[in-house]
Amino acid sequence: MDQPDPIPATVRERDASAWQGTRHHYPEEDVARAALDLPLHAWLGRFTGHVSPAALTLAWVDWSLHLLLSPDKQAELATHAASATLRWWRYCAGAALASQAAPIEPLAQDKRFADPAWQRWPFNVLSQGFLLQQQWWHRATQSVRGVSPHHADVATFVARQLLDAAAPSNFVPTNPVVLQATCERGGMNLVSGAARAAGDAWRAASGSAAPGLRPGHEVALTPGRVVMRNRLAELLRYDPVTPQVHAVPLLIVPAWIMKYYILDLSPHNSLVRYLVAQGHTVFVVSWKNPGAAERDMGLDDYRRLGIMDSLDVIGQESGSGRVNACGYCLGGTLLAIAAAAMARDHDRRLASLTLLAAQVDFTEPGELSLFIDDSEVSFLEASMWSQGYLDTRQMAGAFQLLRSNDLVWSRQLRHYLLDVPDRQTDLMSWNADATRMPYRMHSEYLRSLFLNNDLAGARYLVDGRPVALTDIQAPIFAVGTRTDHVAPWRSVYKIGVLSDTETTFLLSSGGHNAGVVAPPGDSARDYQILSRAADAPYIDPERWQREAPCIEGSWWPAWEAWLARHAGPRVEPPAPGASLGPAPGRYVLEV
């Protein structure tokens, strides 16, 4: 039996009353007009991987027609093709007899042909032919006069996907590394790989997942308890480990697309454990994994039930009228919306605002924009309408396509052809433990933020009135990561343009996840950091990168030192209140 609910009665009443007003995303007449469109698009999505065929067709027509009407570009491509072919023939003529300088080197991140076996004939000839063809197609799909940048990027992306699928590294007869392993093991690598492929296919078809590290057992181990639970979120409070703690607590808001324990993985790389050890009282929102029953929950439900209700409970738990708030990825975007609304309404509870790899301006959203335009969003809405949510497999597929060489083809090479089992890590296990997204919320996010950029344009409505990021007066600490393909750091950097308060920007080495999970002691880490006063002139990102000092090591201590300046004096830890059970709670375990 559950223990008594510690949520204040006012919070419970606000939850119930607001829910009554948000039952329908679309007016009934709009749904009636789409009585055939929505089911048709949802059915088509099963065969297209939920990618809009209209969006791909528009991109292809835009590119191909403009290329057809560009004789200069055609001549340039023909000249380049002839030159590349001649270079390849010359290389082929000498490659079998003597060491020849390669006509083209792969990109730094392309490790497919790094093994020395690829330098032997005929595999060097195959790899060079592939790389030259890859280069030609990139030229063919870019810089065609008149093609919209989005359609050009889509054409480049599709060409890259098709080429990656046909790369010589993917096939046994044309991969010297696989041939050598097959000879040494008498073909057992292919037999074992086929069995592993069959097992993976069965799990994918049945919807079951490979066993991973379990929250509360191998990961998410920092001691704490659940102090609030509503229909969308749990609030976790972590136990103090220092005799005294900072008077101002910290609220962490993760993205609803991820389980919160990305910030509480193993004890050695847990940001939550690190902050608790520095004397911070840490609260973390743990989002429910929504299903069809939550289809009509929108962005404002996430703001109210996740952030505002948490702030109310934290005030009761800590006795503090001020809270430091930190948002990660989409959680940071949501936190920025909440902070702007609070500033507009003269709610001064936020002492500071930290945004980790979080965008508030979506004009340069990175590679995810390949999948986002009006056609694709409408098509995706049909899929979500039919089931009530965006499935985790649909999201995982999009992210895998963005890095198909690393996440699809290279993995299949290792896993199925070389018989190298996956090495289970806490980050990989967390990455496979995704959450769904409600139909209404994801539609609102894609249209209001991604397509219309309403937050940056001060058009986003909260309680029927627009909010502006310029109203935020709390100091801001923003973290970008150098190789982030989800939230590019130059896009994250724009918070300094869109706010009128003191801003500290930190650029960490690594990507969207590994750049944030950067515990002290990792000598491979480094970061740059620079602060700007509210009235200081703007510094563009390129100049910022040139002028900001580069510091070796983890960025966590630098942020913690900044956070401590806004966390007040050390006091006795607040007395524990009512509990709904131990951390990691119930919602993080939902699949």
The catalytic site residues sit at 329
Residue 575: exposure state from Cβ atoms within 10 A (0-12, 13-18, ≥19): exposed
As a whole number of angstroms, the distance between CA 278 and CA 476 comes to 20
Alpha-helical (H) ranges within 49-122 are 53-68, 71-95
Cα 359 to its chain centre, rounded Å, is: 11
Q: From start to end of 344-489, where are the E strands? A: 350-356, 389-390, 437-438, 461-462, 465-466, 476-481
As a whole number of angstroms, the distance between CA 287 and CA 585 comes to 10
Residues whose CB falls within 8 Å of the CB of residue 112, separated by 6 or more in sequence, listed in order = 106, 127, 167, 169, 405, 409, 410
As a whole number of angstroms, the distance between CA 573 and CA 567 comes to 13
| Token duo for residue 138 | 């990139």
SS3 state at 524: coil
As a whole number of angstroms, the distance between CA 254 and CA 315 comes to 20
As a whole number of angstroms, the distance between CA 8 and CA 454 comes to 33
SS3 state at 589: helix
**In contact, 264 and 408? CB cutoff 8 Å:** no
CA neighbor of 315 nearest in space, from 253, 224, 227, 222: 227
What DSSP designation does 234 have?
Answer: E
| Token duo for residue 302 | 């996430």
End-to-end CA distance of the chain: 22
State the DSSP H helix or E strand holding residue 503, giving kind and residue range, or none if neither: strand 503-508
CA neighbor of 566 nearest in space, from 251, 237, 222: 251
As a whole number of angstroms, the distance between CA 152 and CA 141 comes to 6
| Token duo for residue 526 | 């480094």
Alpha-helical (H) ranges within 207-308 are 271-277, 299-302
As a whole number of angstroms, the distance between CA 463 and CA 97 comes to 75
Return the bridge partners of 506, or none.
479, 529
